[in-house]
Structure 1
Amino acid sequence: MPKLPTIVVRLLLSAALAVALGGCSSDSEPDGPKVIQPGAPGEPNASGDPDTAAQSNEWNHTDVAFMQMMIPHHHQALEMSDLAGKHARSKAVRTLAERISGSQAPEIQAMSAWLDERKMEVPRAGEDPMKYDHSQHGHNSMMGMMTPAQMKKLSAARGEQFDRLFLRGMIRHHAGAVDMAEDAAQDGSDMIVGEMTADVAATQSAEIGRMQDILTRL
């Protein structure tokens, strides 16, 4: 069974924690219930008061903008990766595409759950991505997206031509996601979104390096 991305695990832990806290009472804990915040991999958990935890997990428009823009961004990456499985000649490209699909599909689920929990509209596959572009609200645009014409050209390509188009397009796509994550990390306030931005920036920056290496070897 493939390992779930850290952010998905933490989102599930947060949901379980909310259920657990609902059953807590001051009768069983004289000093009041404590919130257990899962630590980063290899780090111990931390505990604190529920009120403090709630304050640290406030969310704002930047958090919503990041989640609503990153879901269509990920959907396009999945579409590109699906094409790679059909048309790529390079085994390295196909393997990379599988890795992208394996990480970004669960992230879409986690981001959708976050929005749904807060009664915010969840972007669906097939919708116009620009419907969720928040640039008109003072945020940066949905950066790195392939245009319909570029997607059509990629879909028609085969073999090495496809490999090069895919890698160049996905490098730009990932670079846009990293820029979006770094912007959201500066102005967002939600703890889970903060972890998501860090995960996107780290994972996709590393994949950019891999894609650049593959491109030089074609």
Structure 2
Amino acid sequence: MPFAAPRVALAPVLLVLGLAMSGCTAEDPAASAMATVTPDGPVLQPGRPGEANTTHTGPVEVPAPQHNDADARFMAEMIIHHSQAIEMVERSREGLQDEQVRSLAARIEAAQGPELQAMATWLVQHDRPVPQEAVDAGVDVARMGGQVARAVDGGAGTAGSGHAGHGSDHADMPGMASPEELEALAAASGREADLLFLDLMTRHHEGALAMAETHGVEGIDVRAVEMSSDVHVEQSVEIDRMAQIRERLTG
């Protein structure tokens, strides 16, 4: 299934006008707020099907899309997902043998930690509760002025305390490892650990792709869509890389 939300990289004025033309109607709850935009120069606004384009040279009032439940659900669930990926790196750290696998694991941890922080920040800024997993990962939600949720919006399950609860509490989330798989990963060493890490992390990444694709269809917040697009691109690349490493190790 192709990803429906490519990364947004447009100037603010064009972005707002484009969003106004792409599905925000008077009946759309997401379009209930209006924004007045004053461009620095003439701005071309594409017409609807069958209508001519128009050029604006002064202030333009357009619908301003707001975030929706799909945006908040993606952020909360991806925090939980990222948290387990980081846990998988931590549990396997001592057992991994192959240098490329060890390097890949370190990159995953280095990338997903800041992403988790950014997602928690987004939730706080939008007055949405932050999963306990963000606190477990070191995010100071209280200092940010946010609230910690015991349950994730959208039915992802009740947040456990600490890493130990992740696998069992969120088993229905795509790609999540079970508690037994996490224990096996922690106990493995050498080539066994390398292959198990690659297999579990590949499945984990594939789950993240499914979550990002769903959000690409349902989400409306520009920053949230940008983040889900980034997740999709980055983890697709890492899936390909893990396949190459696995082929080398088993070839």
**TM-score when normalising by structure 1:** 0.71
Q: Distance in 2 between matches of 1:93 and 1:68?
A: 28
AA at the equivalent of 2:76: Q
Q: Kindly indicate which of the two structures has a greater share of residues assigned to strand.
A: 2
In the TM superposition, 1:1-218 aligns within 5 A as: 34=38, 52=62, 55-56=64-65, 58-125=66-133, 126=136, 131-132=151-152, 134-135=154-155, 142-218=173-249
Contact 1:167 1:211 in 2 (8 A): yes
Report % sequence identity: 38
| Contact 1:33 1:49 survives alignment (8 Å) | yes
CA distance in 1, matches of 2:174, 2:194: 22
1:95-153: per-residue Cα shift (whole Å, max 9, x none)? 001111111111011100000111111113359x994273579xxx5210001111111
Give the TM-score taking structure 2 as reference length.
0.62
Aligned residues of 2:131 and 2:150 also touching (Cα < 8 A):
no
Query: How large is the Cα RMSD of the aligned pairs?
Result: 3.0
**Separation (CA, whole Å) in 2 of partners of 1:215 and 1:84:** 16
Provide runs of 4+ in structure 1 moved above 3 Å.
Answer: 32-36, 48-52
SS in 2 for 1:198: helix
Q: Larger C-alpha radius of gyration, 1 or 2? A: 2
User: Which letter maps to 1:88?
Assistant: L
The residue that corresponds to 1:22 in the other structure is none
Deviations along 1:62-98, one digit per CA (max 9) or x if unpaired, are 0011001000100110111123332100100110011
Task: Kindly indicate whether the alpha-carbon contact (under 8 Å) linking 2:132 and 2:150 is maintained by their aligned counterparts in 1.
Answer: no
Consecutive unaligned residues in structure 1, runs of 5 or more: 1-6, 15-31, 37-47
Partners of 1:133 and 1:142 within 8 A in 2? no
How many residues end up aligned between the 2 structures? Answer: 173
- How far apart, CA to CA, are the structure 1 residues paired with 2:186 and 2:248? 22
Distance change >3 Å, CA 133–CA 34, structure 1 → 2: same
Distance 2:120 2:39 in 1: 24
How far apart in 2 are the matches of 1:157 and 1:133? Answer: 35
Question: Cα deviations across residues 151-188 of structure 1 (Å, max 9, x unaligned)?
Answer: 11111111111111100000000000000000001011
